[in-house]
Chain A
Amino acid sequence: MLDVSRVQKELMECNRDKAISGVSIVLHDGGSDLSHLSGTITGPVGTPYEGGTFQIDISLPSGYPFEPPKMQFITKVWHPNISSQNGAICLDILKDQWSPALTLKTALLSLQALLSAPEPDDPQDAVVAQQYLREYPTFVATARYWTEVFAKRTSVGIEEKVQKLVEMGFSEDLVKNTLESVNGDENMALEKLCSG
């Protein structure tokens, strides 16, 4: 039986300081099933994942907390220990090193730590691991690009978009208004600006 009271306590505890910790957990799709959650972690500063927000699908087995939670990245990540195909994670504490004293929050924080300290010798994704070991600069560039493309919300980095469009020769006020009207989509805004 899933320990419901523990899960509820964990959710409260985790979301209390999400601004500081950078991790948060909500029920999956706003449903009411406590065994299916989704977690969010922010990319650690000073890594190619900086500025990204990563979604993680969490499903709790009935034996939780005596069995580890099942976690998988929903957001695509370029990382030696995370499958670039399906987001599967290779992390010992989610497998044989799980302990009931660990919580969902500590597991998510461990994932955050994994992003800053990849283990290419124990890879989940061999291609990424090869690249990490042989062509590190390429790896960093790819990881940063993936973060940019998949892990950044449209609302994030609106200042940069404004800056970009302003550099193209449009007035700042106009750019801001246009961006707002298209919900922050850079390409749509450019199209609108060019046509109007």
Chain B
Amino acid sequence: MGLIKAEGGEGVGLGEGLEGVSGRWEVAKVVVVGDRAGGRDFPLLAMVCTFYQKGMCSYGSRCRYDHVKVSHHQASASSSSSNSLPYVASDSVQITYPLMDALNGEFKAASSAPKELTASSKPFVPPGKPAWTQTFEIHTFPENQGGHVPMAVRLADLPICSFAAAGSCPHGEKCPHIHGDLCSICEKHCLHPYRPDERVEHIKLCQKNNKRLEALKLSQEIECSVCLDRVLSKPTAAERKFGLLSECDHPFCISCIRNWRSNSPASGMDVNNAVRACPICRKISYFVIPSVIWYSTKEEKQEIIDNYKAKLKSIDCKYFDFGNGTCPFGTSCFYRHTYKPHAKRPPNFRPCTYRPRQVVVAEEAIENIVRELVIEEELVDLARQLVIEEEELGDLDTEDIGSFLGMSALLMQLGFDDWDSFSDDEN
């Protein structure tokens, strides 16, 4: 049930009242108070009768809408399109069709008195639709004939009953609105019988959702092979993520696999291989893909990887820094390398294709160089900046800042100019 409070009503008074707000007015604001029936809010805006403005309202004093005179300019504005209405309360949805009880024949003179309105009698209508597309079935409302709703009945334009779409309609067979066809996937009557495009779209969406749900169900069971916990049952949201390896299909949680890959290993470990390798099959993967869902097919995995790469590609590389810095990963960097218009391109700049990794830098050598360099204030600042940026990125795969820094430091030290020989690694 809802209460309608109409504000304004007298043209002059309304005009004065709203002048300070926007300077344009014509809408008598009606707010539905506490209308929660059917689990939905139906905020409504009642209108000044636009037909009355043109001097042709056939309902006369029985019209549901306010018969007040407004200036010609505003009247034409209101009649052209409901979307151009200048004043709309921000949390209200603008609806311009005649209220249902008016259509049911309970025509009452427009008044500003609070008025009972049965929620169940209101159809769901997409907001922002002009009144004349809401062509209700004529045989149901014979009194509408010759009324002020121009009738061009197009079945595709009819809205479907929202109650049936949400579950069950209290009116059942007698419901004045079209009941949608049953969607076999979501099991709701939400397929519009006369809008084939919408049907196809809905089914597609439903199938996609369903697939995702199934995948999520399967993912629930997957255990991390390192901590032996179910990945999606971890205590914090940040931990409830898989770390996919590019070269094999063994499941780990993102924190375990990152921890292992960034592990400063016990003496004698071959850092470049042991740590990069899958803990189970020892296949070497050069990057880890975070994902909230586990995959069951190759295509799904590829999709996850592609999405991840696309996401990274939309972020500017902090090492490249719009051409001001140098990225150790060169053209195979996952992040975006863009030049600012004013940035100077290196003289030998040429777009390169991917070349496989050729040089393996021993971590010890890197660490020694970093230790030597770290006294330089610039580098300290750089490191600080990197750490901050890493934290901001948060979600993205940001392993082993130290070795990034080390690698770029080494490159600087050695005066390497062939960046591309250091192919992408953990970026």
A residues neighboring B (CB under 8 Å)? 3, 5-6, 9-10, 61, 63, 65-68, 95-102
Find the residue from A5, A6, A67, A99 having the highest chain B CB count within 10 A. A99
Minimal beta-carbon separation of A69 from chain B (angstroms):
11
- A-B contacts besides A66-B259, A67-B265, 5 pairs, CB < 8 Å: A3-B227, A10-B228, A96-B269, A101-B250, A102-B279
Residue in chain B with minimal CB distance to A9 = B228
**B229-A5 in contact (CB<8A):** yes
**B256-A100 in contact (CB<8A):** yes
Residue in chain A with minimal CB distance to B266 = A67
Minimal beta-carbon separation of A62 from chain B (angstroms):
12
Known contacts A99-B280, A101-B279; decide if A6 and B269 are in contact (CB<8 Å). no
Interface string of B268-296 (1 = CB under 8 A from A): 11100010010110100000000000000
Interface residues on B, range: 20 to 34
Minimal beta-carbon separation of A119 from chain B (angstroms):
17
The interface residues of chain B lying within 8 Å CB-to-CB of A68 are 266
**Among candidates B229, B266, B269, B279, residue contacting A100 with C-beta atoms closer than 8 Å:** B279
**B274-A101 in contact (CB<8A):** no
Can you list 12 pairs linking A and B with CB atoms under 8 Å apart? A9-B228, A10-B228, A95-B266, A96-B265, A96-B266, A96-B270, A97-B274, A98-B266, A99-B279, A100-B226, A101-B226, A101-B279
A110 to B226, CA, bound (A): 18
**A5-B227 in contact (CB<8A):** yes
Main secondary structure on A side of the interface with B: loop
Interface hits, B215-254 → A, CB 8 Å: 225-229, 250
Residue in chain B with minimal CB distance to A61 = B266
The interface residues of chain B lying within 8 Å CB-to-CB of A61 are 266
Cβ of B58 within 8 Å of any chain A Cβ, yes or no, is no
Residue in chain B with minimal CB distance to A67 = B266
Cβ of B76 within 8 Å of any chain A Cβ, yes or no, is no
The interface residues of chain A lying within 8 Å CB-to-CB of B307 are none
Minimal beta-carbon separation of B422 from chain A (angstroms):
25
The interface residues of chain B lying within 8 Å CB-to-CB of A6 are 226-229
Cβ of B419 within 8 Å of any chain A Cβ, yes or no, is no
**A66-B274 in contact (CB<8A):** no
The interface residues of chain A lying within 8 Å CB-to-CB of B227 are 3, 5-6, 65
A138 to B275, CA, bound (A): 42
The interface residues of chain B lying within 8 Å CB-to-CB of A3 are 227
Known contacts A99-B279, A100-B260, A101-B280; decide if A65 and B226 are in contact (CB<8 Å). yes
The interface residues of chain A lying within 8 Å CB-to-CB of B229 are 5-6
Interface hits, B351-382 → A, CB 8 Å: none
The interface residues of chain B lying within 8 Å CB-to-CB of A101 are 225-226, 250, 279-280
The interface residues of chain A lying within 8 Å CB-to-CB of B263 are 63, 66-67
Residue in chain A with minimal CB distance to B264 = A63
Residue in chain B with minimal CB distance to A70 = B266
A97 to B269, CA, bound (A): 7
Minimal beta-carbon separation of A136 from chain B (angstroms):
31
Residue in chain B with minimal CB distance to A95 = B268
A113 to B374, CA, bound (A): 48
The interface residues of chain B lying within 8 Å CB-to-CB of A10 are 228
The interface residues of chain B lying within 8 Å CB-to-CB of A96 are 265-266, 268-270, 274
Residue in chain A with minimal CB distance to B263 = A66
A9 to B282, CA, bound (A): 24
A67 to B280, CA, bound (A): 15
Residue in chain B with minimal CB distance to A65 = B226
A61 to B267, CA, bound (A): 13
The interface residues of chain A lying within 8 Å CB-to-CB of B228 are 5-6, 9-10
Interface string of B36-49 (1 = CB under 8 A from A): 00000000000000
A100 to B279, CA, bound (A): 6
A3 to B229, CA, bound (A): 11
Minimal beta-carbon separation of B207 from chain A (angstroms):
36
Residue in chain A with minimal CB distance to B277 = A99
